[in-house]
Amino acid sequence: MSFKRDQWVTCQDDLLADLTFGKSYVVVDAREDSIQVLNDTYEHVWYYNSRFTNVTTPSGESVPAAQDFQVIENEQVYCFDVDDTLVYRDDLELTAVDDGERLAVRDPYSGVTVFLRPHKRHVNLLAQMHGRGRFIIVWSQSGVLWAKAVVEALALEAYVHMVVTKPHGIVDDLPPQVWLSNRIYIEEGK
Ligand SMILES: [Mg+2]
């Protein structure tokens, strides 16, 4: 059987070095009688075709739905944090103090309503960046539903393009500080 680049194949040989019997691999390169795959030690190695069968999808995994694929064409992407960036988290947040400033935000995870002071300068900055055509993401380590709740409490839905949880990690040859050096944080007088 001959294989093509980018298709998935299943290993049918339990004696091959650095491959697992029954596991699927993507074909990185193909010749008439052999294929190159990224093996279990993450090395590109050539193996004979006869060691594999054809699969359409990797075993145990499904092909993601097309609607999960999203392309943002805007080249100016800005990410805003939530806690202590768009709203202050402090020890008064559990008290319903009406100081004319605090917003009630219900934490969708705990059901507890907290009363938070907006960081006005960052909220204004977000609206200003939106107005200048930037793509605005709001993200939080406290979860996507928390980020959404704060965006709604601040009435910023019209200025925010996307709400996500804060990324858990990146796969990149460069550390983030090399390409993500533009951190903004404005101190407000209290
Ligand atoms: Mg924070």
Of 21-25, 99-103, 159-163, 185-189, least confident by mean pLDDT is: 99-103
Q: For the chain, give the percent of residues with pLDDT over 70.
A: 92
Separation of 84 CA from ligand 1 center, angstroms? 5
Q: Does 84 lie in the same domain as 146?
A: yes
- Position 110 in a domain: yes
Q: Across residues 15-43, what is the average pLDDT?
A: 89
Which tens digit of pLDDT belongs to each residue from 142-176?
A: 999 999 999 999 999 999 999 999 998 999 999 99
The total number of structural domains in the chain stands at 2
Assess whether 85 and 120 both reside in one domain: yes
Rounded to the nearest whole angstrom, what is the distance from the C-alpha of residue 148 to the centroid of ligand 1? 15
CA of 142 to the centre of ligand 1 (A): 9
- 12 and 102 inside one domain: no
Own/partner contacts of 88-95, CB < 8 Å, gap of 24 or more, are 88/116, 88/117, 88/118, 88/119, 89/116, 90/117
Answer whether residue 187 is part of any domain.
no
Together in a domain, 49 and 14: yes
Task: Look at residue 100 in the predicted model and tell me its pLDDT.
Answer: 77
What CATH number does the domain containing 93 carry? Answer: 3.40.50.1000
Q: How far is the CA of 48 from the centre of ligand 1 (A)?
A: 52
CA of 20 relative to ligand 1 center, distance in Å: 43
What is the model's pLDDT at position 101?
85
Distance (Å) from CA 17 to ligand 1 centroid: 46
Q: Are residues 112 and 85 in the same domain?
A: yes
Q: Is pLDDT at 64 greater than 80 in this prediction?
A: no
Does a structural domain hold residue 2? no
Residues 53 and 92 in one domain: no
| Spacing, Cα 80 to ligand 1 middle (Å) | 9
| Average pLDDT, rounded, for the chain | 89
User: Would residue 32 count as lying in a domain?
Assistant: yes
- CATH code (residue 49): 2.30.30
105-111's contacts with Cβ under 8 Å and 24+ in sequence apart are 105/149, 105/150, 105/153, 106/149, 107/146, 107/149, 108/145, 108/146, 108/148, 108/149, 109/142, 109/143, 109/145, 109/146
* Banded pLDDT at 41 (limits 50, 70, 90): confident
Q: Is the confidence at residue 61, as pLDDT, over 90? A: no
- Model confidence at 103: pLDDT above 70: yes
In this structure, the answer to whether residues 55 and 88 fall within a common structural domain is no
65 has pLDDT over 60: yes
Domain containing 47 equals 8-59
In which band, very low, low, confident or very high, does the pLDDT at 181 lie, cut at 50, 70 and 90?
confident
- Same domain as 165, residue 87: yes
Average pLDDT over residues 87-112: 87
> 115 CA to middle of ligand 1, Å?
16
Between the CA of 85 and the centroid of ligand 1 the distance, in Å, is 6
What's residue 190's pLDDT? 59
CA of 83 to the centre of ligand 1 (A): 4
- What's the confidence (pLDDT) of residue 56? 60
**185 is a domain residue:** no
> Ligand 1 center to residue 166 CA distance, Å?
10
In a domain, 132, yes or no: yes
| 85 and 173 belong to one structural domain | yes
Ligand 1 mean position, distance from CA 186 (Å): 13
In a domain, 188, yes or no: no
Ligand 1 center–CA 72 separation, angstroms: 25
Q: What ranges make up the beta strands (E) of the chain?
A: 8-11, 24-30, 34-38, 44-48, 52-55, 77-81, 87-88, 103-106, 113-118, 135-140, 162-165
Which one-letter amino acid corresponds to residue 77? V
